Structure 1
Amino acid sequence: MHWIDWVITVVPVLFVLGIALYCRKYVRGVVDYLAAGRVAGRYVISVGDMQAGLAVISLIALCETEYQAGMALGLWSKVTIPISIFLSLTGYCLYRFRQTKCLSIGQFLEVRYNRPLRIIAAVIRTTAEMMTNAIGPAVAARFFIYILGLPHIVNIFGWQVTSYALIMVIVLTMAMIVIWPAGRISLLVTDVIQGLMSYPIFVIFTVFVLSEISWSLDVAPVMLDRVPGESFLNPMDIDKLRDFNLFALIVTIIGSILNRAAWIGNDTSGAGRTAHEQKMAGVLGAWRNGFASLMLTLMALFMVTIMLAGRFAGEAKVIRTNLVNKVVEEIVESPQLKGKIKQDIAVIPEERHTIGVDKPYSHTDNPDTPYLNSVHNNLKDTPEGNTVFQKFRTLYFQMMAPMVLREKLPVGVMGLLVLLMVMLMLSTDDSRIFNSSSTLLQDVVMPLRKNPFTPKQHLAWLRGMSVAVCVFFLVVSLFFSQMDYIAMFISIMCSLWLGAAGPIMIGGLYTRFGTTTGAFCALVFGSGSALSGLFLQRSWSGYVYPWLLSSGNAKYVSMLFDTVNSLCSPYIVWEMNEIKFPINSYEIYFISMMFGLGAYIIGSMITYRKPFNIDRMLHRGKYCDGESSVVATPWSWKNVYGKLIGIDSQYTKGDKIIAWSVFYFSIVYQFLLSFVCVVIWNAISPWPASWWSMYFYINIIVVGL
């Protein structure tokens, strides 16, 4: 980077770290450290949540998804709009959890079930959370290595140190600087400051991308140049998409409802001064997140266009060659093999592809195919060749975005983008470290102690546990390889907890019949099936598939997969593969949720004795302790719509305006007009390709701006 870019990056980051240190003066007790004293307002929470929800890993995951499946699935994803808006406006799960006045999810589990479940569930949840979140700093570290062009090995006072490990240490140290002084207070304040800094960068980068590529000349032709069944732009022609398809969307919808409360109790979900403020922060987030989503989407489209559009073929050849060489330097140990791969890659010709004349691209035949085939041919006969190739393919698609940005961004814009990525990394990593450390202490360590902590000891343990989680993140990032798309990896790792969390939390918050036995059954069958799937995914190419071949069982497993394919194709396709486990992460996630839900219901019904006193847990009725409560109002034709979207007696006139504006934009425009009417229209008279191009241009660019 140019020195101007370094100044643009470093100065604001130092300012944010200084603010974090200054926040220490506001910590007066454990509640301040854990939940910001529960005095945060809706605007602070909504901006902080936006920044904490964005991450480098979010960008890379979106780029991977767009590069593999395009935008066509975006139309069908609009079916989630009324669901998410309804959940936000009604305060589903969040409102009830806030009424329990529990500081953590573990405290709730002990109140609703018992202490052993609290401890076991906390261990499973935190392990899944930490394993998932540990790849965040790892992906960010590699992003900076690739976008800055850093060598994989650096010499520090005669010691050979990997840049990856060095940047990981720097990343985690910065996160601890934010966490250590004031916990949730410093997290919330720095997230808000970084969020306010990010908005101008979103605007600048959006202008840059729109000036570099044309929607009609570049983006739309590339997205439409796909074989039948794999369109990147026509939602009616996506039945052959494999990983990111309609079934994955269905699983996402089910998970968003069933696991609404799975991660509740951390982040800012307990920082609002009232349950109503917490609820309104979620409603405001629907507006504040819009432009951030536009910027990330444009970045992904920018990468796809540069790598696939004909007029950028020369630059794409350079990017692919440099990308392969960079990844090979990192994961291939043999110098001779590295040289052979680089030599073979160098002679691959520039892709000359004329849209409308040449055969359209497909998942198996595209400009990346010769590069992937060349590397696989060199690796397949080496020890653990298939496993190494899985790592290569994962890093190849992950690091494509930073290599494109390195090639295309000018001075100034590069500095702003790196600053944005540092802030996104910092705001996400520090929150996740803090969440894991507080959960471990509150729900594992404290229930095992005979004597409670003093406030001073409690704060010291919280800080110490954060350091321990940082060390865990570092160790996992160094020794645990991610071997799938980021969205898939997150799905399978989170399912270790999410396979059981939904019925445990919803059953605990909303039912009187749920029992402790039912909750344990959900953990055994839901989390257990997810763990089995994870084991098969990671050991398939190295152990499971070779064993199936040597034992003669491969044909029987193949027959089972064929039976499933005959029933579920084309949305679920399980094919025997020597490299990758046939059942993808979304499918494993779905199986684990169904097992967990069924086990909870059956286990609870078998052991049900008497209804649980849910009124006492929620501090309502005769157990009300004086906090403001909702005044019940009768249903009438005048208020029926307001009640359906969650408007109650606590809503001011301004609150109602915000709620109704979100409702009309999301439900009336995005869902009814942009989805329902469009689907009906196409069912009667299918649109030509040019109409879909205009549809996504309006919905992504025009409306986003």
Structure 2
Amino acid sequence: MQPIDWFLFSIPIVVIAVFCFHSQKYIRSVADFLAAGRTGGRYLLSSANGMAGMGLITLAVAMQNFRHAGWAVSWWGQVITLAMTILSLSGFVYYRYRQTKVLTLAQFFEIRYCRAFRVVMGILCWLAGIINFGIFPAVGAHFFIAFLGLPREIGGIPLYPVLMVLFLGSAAVITMSGGQVQNMITDMIQSLFGYFMCVVVGISVVCIFSMEQFREAMLAQPPGQSYVNPFDSFEVSDFNIWFILINLIVMVYGYGSWQGNQGYSASALNPHEAKMGNILSTWRMLSITMFSAMISLGAYTFLTHPAFASEQLAISGELASYSAQNADQMAMPMATSSFLPAGIKGLFAAVAFFFMLSTDTTYLHSWGSIFIQDIVLPLYGRPVSARLHLLLLRLAILGVAVFGFVFSLCYRQNEYINMFQMITGTFFSAGAGCAIIGGLYWKRGTRAGAWSGVAAGAFLSLAGIVLMDARGWHAARQFLLGIFPNSTVLQEAADKCPVNGAWLSLVAVLCAGSVYVLVSLLTCRKPFNMDRMLHRGRYAEADTALRVENARKIGWCKRLFLGFDEEFTLRDKIVSVSVFSWTAFWTVCFVVITLYNIIAFALPAAGFKPWDDGMWFNWMMFYLMVHVVLAPVTAVWMTWGGIRDLREMYRRLSALTRSQDDGYVPEPRKDD
């Protein structure tokens, strides 16, 4: 990196440090530390949560997936985009979750089921979370070593543990000093810089390479493994159409269950702001999606196009000393570092650092809070003073950081990052998904059903984690060979489980959901009182009650597809319609193009000709260029809204009358 790169890299970090110092004075209660006093507006929630949700590991996953599958598999991924848009427009899970006014998901489990269930789910959530987080520090450190061209060792001491201490230490200091208030403010500031940096870096890639170089690199694949033609990519292993379909099922089932950003779920000013924050996520992600796609395309072109053969040899020489999985992760960052010019490289480094820091602070806060709120304090059995409560939360956050360092230092990865994330996440979400959806929307869901679903999901997910480990698979393979000695599959799969993490996650999810429904139907004696839990009907509070009687009747189509409800203003409706129109346009394109190619393959005599790779490349570039054009517009829009909401949050925190709410439920609820 040149001096200009270090200058551009350091400026936003200094600004963030200033805001961190300024915001510490707003922590005056446990609710402030856990949920920022519930003062978050829609743009603040959407922008800050989006930055936290992206993460450097997500960028690393996107680059790794692109290197192995290109764009072809993302064509089928538009089904996921449509499903997620409908869920966000409808306010699925998040609206009712905010109505419960809980501080953590497990607190909801206590209200809906029982205290013992809260503790067990808190333990499962915490274990799944910290194990999932365990590889984040190592991935981040290796990414920066590769991108910055740093030496692997200094004086015989490996560099990546030193970087992990530096990165985790920074995240821990930020989170311990200001909790969710600090996280929301720093993530918001990072997003303000990040939006425009993403736009500049993404556009620069278009200027560095020619369109012909992109075309030649993307089309240089053997038949059956196309990187642009989704109908000619079925021989691509792991990252294929089945991976997308499994992802769709798992994501819908577990929507809202993953608690890596649980602080944001409780930080909304009200349920309506939480819903609007989710709706805005479509526009918020535009610049980030464009950035991720363009940087992946540029890195892949640099690694494969003959025009860069000498640089490719140098990168291959550097990667030769790494293990297969580490080399696979570091190839794309090394390529990115090689082709980005001075100045742009500094902006990319800043964006990558923002992604890493925002996710680390959010995860440290989430898993530390869950450990105290849903394991320690429920087992203790009575409330503690606010001072002791805050001390325990800070110590837990420090403990999560230490665990992340130790796990990253000891764990030897033998699976793709995405597969590891899926199976470790499913360890909790397989059981939690049915308990959340059933608990929020089905009055006949029972405690016994929840226990059974969680047990089935956790057991099958744990079995999947064991099978993903080389030693675990070796032991399981020996056992299975004793039962099926002539199995060809077992004999050929000597080093690795033949079923990847995606399929193992699907089995766990389907079994857990089925068990929950079946057991609940068998054990439900009396429907649960949903009105009391959701603070509606005769349990509604004056400041949050909806005046439905004064609102016009809204049809089910507008509710489902546009997300309209009685609280929607004209501006809300415009935002919602814009999101639906954007998604609907690409969905219609997806359906028409897919049907045309299916008909062309099925009826060649009718004169239809399937799209060749060149046509698919042109379409993909059109899709990407639309994002390049619109990304600056949405960046300005989200920045304006974010600054407005940030000022409002400061004002609300200054004037807020603090309550004693600390997430403690006085009495365990019974099924009623």
Taking structure 2 as the reference length, the TM-score comes to 0.88
Contact in 2 for aligned 1:49/1:268 (Cα 8 Å): yes
Contact in 1 for aligned 2:203/2:628 (Cα 8 Å): no
Q: Supply the AA of the counterpart residue of 1:580.
A: K
Contact in 1 for aligned 2:199/2:628 (Cα 8 Å): no
Q: Supply the AA of the counterpart residue of 2:335.
A: V
Contact in 2 for aligned 1:521/1:599 (Cα 8 Å): yes
Deviations 1:607-660 (A, max 9, x none): 222111111111111111223334447999985542232212211111111111
Q: Supply the AA of the counterpart residue of 1:658.
A: V
Report the Cα distance in structure 1 between the residues aligned to 2:546 and 2:280, rounded to whole angstroms. Answer: 21
Report the Cα distance in structure 1 between the residues aligned to 2:526 and 2:494, rounded to whole angstroms. Answer: 52
Query: Which region of structure 1 is more displaced relative to structure 2, 536-545 or 311-320?
Result: 536-545
Q: Supply the AA of the counterpart residue of 2:239.
A: F
Contact in 2 for aligned 1:80/1:253 (Cα 8 Å): yes
Bigger relative contact order (CA 8 A; separation at least 6): 2
Q: Supply the AA of the counterpart residue of 1:307.
A: L
Equivalent residue runs for 1:396-475 within 5 Å: 396-475=327-406
Partner of 1:268, secondary structure, is helix
Partner of 2:227: 232
Partner of 1:208: 204
Query: Which region of structure 1 is more displaced relative to structure 2, 219-228 or 466-475?
Result: 219-228
**5+ long unaligned stretches in structure 2:** 600-607, 630-672
Report the Cα distance in structure 2 between the residues aligned to 1:271 and 1:322, rounded to whole angstroms. Answer: 45
Report the Cα distance in structure 2 between the residues aligned to 1:301 and 1:249, rounded to whole angstroms. Answer: 20
Partner of 2:157, secondary structure, is strand
Q: Describe the shift of the 1:633–1:252 C-alpha distance in structure 2 as closer, same or farther (beyond 3 A).
A: farther
Contact in 1 for aligned 2:466/2:472 (Cα 8 Å): no
Equivalent residue runs for 1:51-62 within 5 Å: 51-62=51-62
Partner of 1:70: 70
Report the Cα distance in structure 1 between the residues aligned to 2:146 and 2:24, rounded to whole angstroms. Answer: 35
Equivalent residue runs for 1:681-692 within 5 Å: 681-684=596-599, 685=608, 686-692=610-616
Q: Supply the AA of the counterpart residue of 1:594.
A: L
| 1:132 CA drift (Å) | 0.7
Equivalent residue runs for 1:244-393 within 5 Å: 244-263=239-258, 266-325=262-321, 327=322, 392-393=323-324
Partner of 2:148: 148
| 1:417 CA drift (Å) | 1.4
Equivalent residue runs for 1:129-168 within 5 Å: 129-155=129-155, 160-168=156-164
Q: Between the two proteins, what is the percent identity of the paired residues?
A: 31
Q: Describe the shift of the 1:503–1:6 C-alpha distance in structure 2 as closer, same or farther (beyond 3 A).
A: same
Partner of 2:538: 622
Contact in 2 for aligned 1:261/1:506 (Cα 8 Å): no
Partner of 1:272, secondary structure, is coil
Query: Which region of structure 1 is more displaced relative to structure 2, 624-633 or 450-459?
Result: 624-633
For the pair 1:594 / 2:499, whether they are aligned, the reply is: no
Q: Describe the shift of the 1:605–1:638 C-alpha distance in structure 2 as closer, same or farther (beyond 3 A).
A: closer
Partner of 1:183, secondary structure, is helix
Partner of 1:585: 501
Equivalent residue runs for 1:529-544 within 5 Å: 529-540=460-471, 543-544=474-475
| 1:313 CA drift (Å) | 2.1
The 4+ residue runs of structure 1 with deviation greater than 6 A are 633-638
Taking structure 1 as the reference length, the TM-score comes to 0.84
Report the Cα distance in structure 2 between the residues aligned to 1:219 and 1:498, rounded to whole angstroms. Answer: 39
Deviations 1:309-329 (A, max 9, x none): 22222221221111213x1xx
Report the Cα distance in structure 2 between the residues aligned to 1:703 and 1:292, rounded to whole angstroms. Answer: 10
Deviations 1:225-248 (A, max 9, x none): 222221111111122222011111
Partner of 1:612: 528
Contact in 1 for aligned 2:190/2:354 (Cα 8 Å): yes
Deviations 1:251-278 (A, max 9, x none): 1111121111212581311111111011
Report the Cα distance in structure 1 between the residues aligned to 2:131 and 2:18, rounded to whole angstroms. Answer: 30
Partner of 1:101: 101
Report the Cα distance in structure 1 between the residues aligned to 2:100 and 2:476, rounded to whole angstroms. Answer: 49
| 1:152 CA drift (Å) | 2.4
Report the Cα distance in structure 2 between the residues aligned to 1:15 and 1:638, rounded to whole angstroms. Answer: 46
Q: Describe the shift of the 1:624–1:541 C-alpha distance in structure 2 as closer, same or farther (beyond 3 A).
A: closer
Report the Cα distance in structure 2 between the residues aligned to 1:82 and 1:420, rounded to whole angstroms. Answer: 27
Contact in 2 for aligned 1:541/1:579 (Cα 8 Å): no
Deviations 1:441-469 (A, max 9, x none): 10001101133111111111111111111
Report the Cα distance in structure 1 between the residues aligned to 2:483 and 2:513, rounded to whole angstroms. Answer: 31
Report the Cα distance in structure 2 between the residues aligned to 1:222 and 1:697, rounded to whole angstroms. Answer: 13
Contact in 2 for aligned 1:122/1:444 (Cα 8 Å): yes
Partner of 1:399, secondary structure, is helix
Q: Describe the shift of the 1:450–1:267 C-alpha distance in structure 2 as closer, same or farther (beyond 3 A).
A: closer
Contact in 2 for aligned 1:206/1:298 (Cα 8 Å): yes
Deviations 1:551-570 (A, max 9, x none): 665644436x7xxxxxxxxx
Contact in 2 for aligned 1:630/1:648 (Cα 8 Å): no
Q: Supply the AA of the counterpart residue of 1:238.
A: S
**5+ long unaligned stretches in structure 1:** 328-391, 562-574
For the pair 1:3 / 2:8, whether they are aligned, the reply is: no
Q: Supply the AA of the counterpart residue of 1:220.
A: R
Partner of 2:265, secondary structure, is coil
Partner of 1:581, secondary structure, is coil
| 1:541 CA drift (Å) | 8.1
Partner of 1:626, secondary structure, is coil
Query: Which region of structure 1 is more displaced relative to structure 2, 645-654 or 585-594?
Result: 645-654
For the pair 1:527 / 2:458, whether they are aligned, the reply is: yes
Partner of 2:419: 488
Partner of 2:581: 664
2:430 to 463, 488, 499: 499
Q: Supply the AA of the counterpart residue of 2:298.
A: F
Report the Cα distance in structure 1 between the residues aligned to 2:486 and 2:569, rounded to whole angstroms. Answer: 64
Report the Cα distance in structure 1 between the residues aligned to 2:488 and 2:446, rounded to whole angstroms. Answer: 40
Contact in 2 for aligned 1:38/1:270 (Cα 8 Å): yes
Deviations 1:183-218 (A, max 9, x none): 111100111111111122112212221112223x12
Contact in 1 for aligned 2:167/2:357 (Cα 8 Å): yes
Q: Supply the AA of the counterpart residue of 1:100.
A: T
| 1:491 CA drift (Å) | 0.7
Q: Supply the AA of the counterpart residue of 1:125.
A: C
| 1:545 CA drift (Å) | 7.2
